[in-house]
Amino acid sequence: MQGISKRFPGVIALNNVSLEVFPGEIVALVGENGAGKSTLMKTLGGIHQPDEGTIQINGETVTISNVNDSMRLGIGFIHQELNVFPNLDVAANVFLGREPVNGGFLRLIDRAKLEAATATLLERLGVDVSPRTQLSELSIAQQQMVEIAKALSLNTRLLIMDEPTSSLTLSETTRLLQVVKDLRAQGVSVIYISHRLGEVTEIADRVVVLRDGANAGTLQRDEITHDRMVTLMVGRALQHVHEPKETSLYPNYFIVENLRTKRYADNAVSFGVGRGEVLGVSGLIGAGRSEVAQALFGVEPALGGRILLDGNELLIKSSQDAIKHGICLIPEDRRHLGLVMDWTIQDNTTLATLTNYAKAGLIDFAAENKVAVEMSQKLRVKAPSVAAKVSQLSGGNQQKVVLAKWLLQKLKVIIFDEPTRGIDIGAKSEIYDLINQLAAEGTAVIVISSDLEEILRISDRVAVMHEGKLTGILPRAECSEEAIMRLAVGSE
């Protein structure tokens, strides 16, 4: 790809960007939110056409005007949000639209051939799953493998993976990285987009860094270090210091006693958070952390247990109850739970506090606009205006809009569920700053995260869950990746 430029109304998304990938090479593409990674990849996927620049494959200039062109040229995509049909089985997913047929004009699906071909692909990836298993029965990691199998079945020569490990556990991530390396050994080229620089360091042959829609630099294999990547991405060296607070100074303010959730009805969870404290909640995916958060926020009320705030017992049966008591949740799935994606920044920002900008039930549009603009500026949401649809924003900016929605009211307890999932380094540190600021203002903060680096960076104490049980709460001094992992896998 050479000299690629792409303009959108009001924004230059890509400015003379070049990228090359050799056969059997893993190129990591890194950069902040809105740095242009997704737009660049979309030009390869045929979703956007570049305004300038050329794309060459094996020395031949090609035009990719739609998804089919892209597929035919051997380009495969593994999106962050998986594109699978949970109601169909593995074989059907892999060969959807290209089923082998027999039976002449009846075009009956040749099950035997279909399953055999699928089995071969799964074997190539080292996945131990039957082609007949329904997708909904598989873990996210296994579903992702099915997507990779699908890409391989299309004779993919260049595989583009966008944040493939964002919802994987540690062991699944290790497994995926191995598969990517195996694919490289088989001559497949990979463009690997990730914000997890540890993974990038491990597998990339070369790192291409984008910043503000332009090439910011390239690092060869022996030059790849965490710090150098970060420096190129943000254009300056990041300082990441978090002074852990002395937690004994923060007596428990928000207390959860024997909370039981539907998913883990037999396990009760108890913990407390002080004013101004950040409690990290670590654990593997499916440990029941989100369920606790949903119970505290009332969207999936708890089966039992007590919730106390400042000594008063709260009855939380709905999100309205939680909000009334100053408790809010920034959900993990911001596209479906955090935002109305078709709506503007303004409408999303004011959704939870609309009654504050209304008289007698009628909206004061000027007042609404004023707070939305103020909040967007305060959180530095990058967008042409508050009338922009949130679906057009990058993940980090979307998350800021979700935050804006809640910061418009006085909060006592704020729960973050995977606050920086799919968000790049620059926006991440902005979110961390906000979390610290909230704590400094006396809010009790709970941060659920699967990212150990993040947990260690922002928490004053770390609670660890395993299969619905709270296996331990570590004071800051005792926190280390090893100590947390030991509790997370339930070995003690």
Q: Report if residue 403 touches other proteins, rule: CB under 8 A.
A: no
Burial (0-12, 13-18, 19+ Cβ within 10 Å), 439: buried
**Part of the chain binding other proteins (CB under 8 A), chosen from 22-30, 185-193, 264-272, 323-331:** 323-331
Q: Which residue lies nearer to other proteins by CB, 17 or 390?
A: 390
Q: Report if residue 65 touches other proteins, rule: CB under 8 A.
A: no
Pairing of strands 108-109, 101-102: antiparallel
Backbone angles phi, psi at 212, to 5 degrees: 50, 45
Residue from 351, 377, 385, 475 touching other proteins (CB under 8 A): that is: 351
Burial (0-12, 13-18, 19+ Cβ within 10 Å), 16: middle
- The rounded Cα 38 to chain-centroid distance in angstroms is 14
What is the nearest approach in angstroms of other proteins to the Cβ of residue 41? 21
Residue from 320, 366, 410, 491 touching other proteins (CB under 8 A): that is: 320
Query: Given strand 252-260, what is the order of strands in its sheet?
Result: 269-274, 252-260, 304-309, 312-314
Q: Report if residue 354 touches other proteins, rule: CB under 8 A.
A: yes
SS3 209: strand
Q: How far apart are CA 25 and CA 179, in angstroms?
A: 14
Q: Report if residue 190 touches other proteins, rule: CB under 8 A.
A: no
Q: Report if residue 319 touches other proteins, rule: CB under 8 A.
A: yes
Q: Report if residue 343 touches other proteins, rule: CB under 8 A.
A: yes
Q: Report if residue 287 touches other proteins, rule: CB under 8 A.
A: no
Nearest-10 Cα torsion for 383, 384, 389, 391 = -40
Q: How far apart are CA 392 and CA 370, in angstroms?
A: 21
Q: How far apart are CA 28 and CA 20, in angstroms?
A: 11
Q: Report if residue 369 touches other proteins, rule: CB under 8 A.
A: no
Q: Report if residue 362 touches other proteins, rule: CB under 8 A.
A: yes
**Which amino acid is located at 407 in the chain?**
L
* Residue 336: DSSP 8-state: I
Q: Are 278 and 459 in contact (CB under 8 A)?
A: yes
**Part of the chain binding other proteins (CB under 8 A), chosen from 1-9, 40-48, 242-250, 352-360:** 352-360
Q: Report if residue 361 touches other proteins, rule: CB under 8 A.
A: yes
Q: Binding residues for other proteins, how many (CB under 8 A)?
A: 27
| Helix (H) / strand (E) containing 233 | helix 226-234
Residue from 339, 345, 448, 479 touching other proteins (CB under 8 A): that is: 339
Q: Which residue lies nearer to other proteins by CB, 276 or 298?
A: 298
What is the nearest approach in angstroms of other proteins to the Cβ of residue 121? 35
What is the nearest approach in angstroms of other proteins to the Cβ of residue 101? 32
No. of helices (H) and no. of strands (E), the chain: 16, 24
**Part of the chain binding other proteins (CB under 8 A), chosen from 103-111, 154-162, 223-231, 334-342:** 334-342
**Part of the chain binding other proteins (CB under 8 A), chosen from 119-127, 241-249, 336-344, 470-478:** 336-344
Residue from 66, 270, 318, 480 touching other proteins (CB under 8 A): that is: 318
Q: Report if residue 290 touches other proteins, rule: CB under 8 A.
A: no
Q: Which residue lies nearer to other proteins by CB, 225 or 355?
A: 355
Residue from 211, 325, 400, 405 touching other proteins (CB under 8 A): that is: 405
Q: Report if residue 274 touches other proteins, rule: CB under 8 A.
A: no
DSSP E strand boundaries for 81-205:
101-102, 108-109, 158-162, 189-193
Q: Which residue lies nearer to other proteins by CB, 170 or 373?
A: 373
Instruction: Compute the 3-state secondary structure of the chain and give helix, strand, coil in percent, each to the nearest 5.
Output: 40, 25, 35
**Part of the chain binding other proteins (CB under 8 A), chosen from 21-29, 71-79, 122-130, 317-325:** 317-325
**Part of the chain binding other proteins (CB under 8 A), chosen from 30-38, 103-111, 329-337, 468-476:** 329-337
Q: How far apart are CA 298 and CA 254, in angstroms?
A: 15
Q: Per the structure block, which two tokens stand in for 462?
A: 């770390």
Q: Report if residue 433 touches other proteins, rule: CB under 8 A.
A: no
Q: Report if residue 309 touches other proteins, rule: CB under 8 A.
A: no
**Measured CA distances, 234 to 238, 294, 348, 393 (Å):** 8, 35, 28, 19
Q: Which residue lies nearer to other proteins by CB, 59 or 361?
A: 361
Q: Which residue lies nearer to other proteins by CB, 145 or 401?
A: 401
Q: Report if residue 483 touches other proteins, rule: CB under 8 A.
A: no
Helices (H), 65-139: 67-72, 90-94, 111-125
**Measured CA distances, 458 to 92, 239, 373, 379 (Å):** 44, 13, 29, 19
Q: Report if residue 47 touches other proteins, rule: CB under 8 A.
A: no
Q: Report if residue 299 touches other proteins, rule: CB under 8 A.
A: yes
Q: Report if residue 367 touches other proteins, rule: CB under 8 A.
A: no
**Part of the chain binding other proteins (CB under 8 A), chosen from 171-179, 335-343, 436-444, 464-472:** 335-343
Pairing of strands 278-283, 461-466: parallel
Q: Residue 392 contacts by C-beta under 8 Å, 6 or more apart in sequence?
A: 383
Q: Which residue lies nearer to other proteins by CB, 31 or 331?
A: 331
Point out which residues bind other proteins (CB under 8 A): 297, 299, 318-320, 322-323, 329, 331, 336-343, 347, 351-352, 354-355, 358, 361-363, 405
